[in-house]
Amino acid sequence: MPLQISSLEEYQSVYQQSIREPEAFWAAQAETFYWQKKWDKVLEWDFKKPDVKWFSGGKLNITENCLDRHLESKGDQTAIIWEPNDPNETVKKYTFRELHAAVCKAANALKVLGIEKGDRVCFYMPMVPELAIGVLACARIGAVHSVVFAGFSANALADRIKDATCKMVICSDFNKRGQKVIPVKSVVDEAIALGCSSVETVLVHKNTGGDIVWDEKIDQWWHNIVDIQTPQCPAEPMDAEDMLFILYTSGSTGKPKGVVHTCGGYMVYTTFSFKNVFQYKEGDVYWCTADIGWITGHSYIVYGPLSAGATTIMFEGVPTFPDAGRFWQICDKHKVNQFYTAPTAIRALMAKGDEFVDAYDLSSLKVIGSVGEPINEEAWHWYNEKVGKKRCPIVDTWWQTETGGIMITPLPNITDTKPCYAAYPMPGIQPVLLDSDGNEITENEAEGLLCVRFPWPSMLRTTYGDHERCKNTYFAAFENHYFTGDGARRDADGRYRIIGRVDDVINVSGHRMGTAEVENAINEHSNVVESAVVGYPHAIKGQGIYAYVIVNETVSDETVFRTEVCEVVRREIGAIAKPDKIQLVSGLPKTRSGKIMRRILRKIAANDTENLGDVSTLLNPDIVESVIEGRLKE
């Protein structure tokens, strides 16, 4: 197992060493894993291209590290606890031995169905054990998984399937969420009908049962094929730099891009960070409430915890079913030791009242974590007092789909915590603040653009099928730096506070959304001429979506129109991208060169119109007043 830091002095000295001798540091961590063949070179890198290779020449299979290597010492220990949507249904538990067998069977099934090393397999599934099993089965045989969050629409799913030319889609029949049963397989059918010609097989896991349309030519039942396989499957030897998975994420322009992570470095870093950030100890029960459709689920439900030999919980349901005490009921029921969730969930539950949390015994908790968006001070204190009872350090973890693992965070009971601060860099992570000209801001108590100046093992390697885009998005803004897209502040003691995105990306309930993407969806409405989308402060979601829309023909019923626009967005992207507010405007403030002045629109949406700055240089300064007048309050 990689090093587990246990004191402040150790953190400080390890951090210094990791910066002074990064190769020696990461080689020492990597040594603790099971490699089929050792690497030739720890690190080669060039951010200009970018070209980053960790542990090249090394051969490994991440599933041997997540499963096989634990069999002897903890084969009978629980690897996954699956908690169903309905608390009255039966919990499922998989020991490492059982999980190993299940993964091998699924891997053999994939092979029978023609999946080979390097093929892409798309997952569109709810939080059922078969999702984790399927993902690991891909890794076992060297297939590349691309998990698409099951809340995305058929259009969004089709875009992702096509971009990665997936050969197979693995899905469920239906998804249970609270009292709702949501169709899943029919969304895949719809996506395939949109021309996903690369898909040869749709492998369907029967979750609820119920009527689905069946196409004998491509549909296969999971149970028919997986259940009859043998529970052994050799682990494909993977080069450290072979692709492990693709995960799509939104940017400020264009369609979502497929962030590519590779096997060796990702394994080392997610395991190392998991052990340290959560201070996981033998026998602990760890729970991350994320969905495996996002990077948090990949790194900190599946790979990091399993590789570290931890017991990890997978929860099928939602925080408010059957009531707002569900999270705490689960913590109590399974005696959870480390709990990791998102600020939006904390704020939503905080709003429901303290009685839901007070009803349960949370004395097993040792560390509580937050991820995905800035946690505001009020939510931080509530989490600290009501959930952590002031005895559990809050780890406010800053990272991104692209970083693969947690980059900036307190280490519990090692470094201090401070509300709103993600605090200190992890060993091996070299964050810097730059000004807009690319000069480094070296002093403390300063604000700047958050960049990273040295590679770390789990960083993205490319964006699938478009390396130029990777370069332009992350490595072109500032020479020799990875640019995160976030602004940050560093306090007098060197702690980082993440302020938020500085590009046209908004963060709604911890979900990343490109404003351009939402605009493109809105523009699909036949009566929409042009639109502009900005984020605005939202009490629960962190940011809400505010859309300014210019229509062609006068709208007679605005309520109907808004419903239609939301429906178009739901169809194009998914319900998570539906605007919270839609304001009809006669024009949008633009610069003389025709660029929409989002800065002004953001201020209007936030009701911060006192200080709009100079608008006289706009192409259409008069429009500002009328947009302000029409502002939607509630």
Q: Which residues bind ligand WT7 (CB under 6 A)?
A: 249, 294-296, 371-374, 396-401, 422, 484-486, 498, 500-501, 507, 512
User: Rounded distance, CA 543 to CA 547, Å?
Assistant: 13
User: Rounded distance, CA 502 to CA 603, Å?
Assistant: 15
Nearest distance from C-beta of residue 20 to ligand WT7, angstroms: 27
Asked if residue 138 lies in contact with residue 125, where contact means CB atoms within 8 angstroms, the answer is: no
Nearest distance from C-beta of residue 545 to ligand WT7, angstroms: 15
User: Rounded distance, CA 400 to CA 460, Å?
Assistant: 10
Nearest distance from C-beta of residue 11 to ligand WT7, angstroms: 19
Question: Is residue 535 classed as helix, strand or coil in its secondary structure?
Answer: strand
Pair type for strands 338-341 and 92-95: unpaired
Nearest distance from C-beta of residue 103 to ligand WT7, angstroms: 25
Nearest distance from C-beta of residue 482 to ligand WT7, angstroms: 12
User: DSSP characters for 109-158?
Assistant: HHHHTT--TT-EEEEE--S-HHHHHHHHHHHHHTPEEEE--TTB-HHHHH
**Closest-CB residue for ligand WT7?**
401
Q: Kindly tell me which of 43 and 371 has the beta carbon lying closer to ligand WT7.
A: 371
Report the Cα–Cα distance between both ends of the chain, in Å, rounded.
Answer: 52
Token representation of residue 157: 């799913």
Q: Kindly tell me which of 409 and 583 has the beta carbon lying closer to ligand WT7.
A: 409
Q: Kindly tell me which of 140 and 512 has the beta carbon lying closer to ligand WT7.
A: 512
Q: Kindly tell me which of 111 and 261 has the beta carbon lying closer to ligand WT7.
A: 261
Q: Kindly tell me which of 374 and 589 has the beta carbon lying closer to ligand WT7.
A: 374
Q: Kindly tell me which of 277 and 604 has the beta carbon lying closer to ligand WT7.
A: 277
Q: Kindly tell me which of 485 and 544 has the beta carbon lying closer to ligand WT7.
A: 485
408-412: which pairs have CB atoms within 8 A and are 24 or more residues apart?
408/496, 408/498, 409/277, 411/5, 411/11, 411/276, 411/277, 411/279, 412/277, 412/278, 412/279, 412/366, 412/367
Q: Kindly tell me which of 477 and 612 has the beta carbon lying closer to ligand WT7.
A: 477
Beta bridge partners of 204: 171, 221
User: Rounded distance, CA 421 to CA 398, Å?
Assistant: 9
Token representation of residue 488: 């940050």
Burial (CB count <10 Å: 0-12, 13-18, 19+), residue 364:
middle
Nearest distance from C-beta of residue 597 to ligand WT7, angstroms: 22
Question: Is residue 450 classed as helix, strand or coil in its secondary structure?
Answer: strand
Nearest distance from C-beta of residue 485 to ligand WT7, angstroms: 5
Q: Kindly tell me which of 126 and 374 has the beta carbon lying closer to ligand WT7.
A: 374
445: left (phi over 0), alpha (psi -120 to 50) or beta: left
Compute the Cα dihedral for 573, 577, 580, 583 and give only its sign.
negative
Other C-beta atoms lying within 10 Å of the C-beta of residue 504: 21
Nearest distance from C-beta of residue 344 to ligand WT7, angstroms: 11
Q: Kindly tell me which of 84 and 500 has the beta carbon lying closer to ligand WT7.
A: 500
Nearest distance from C-beta of residue 373 to ligand WT7, angstroms: 5
Nearest distance from C-beta of residue 295 to ligand WT7, angstroms: 5
Beta bridge partners of 423: 496
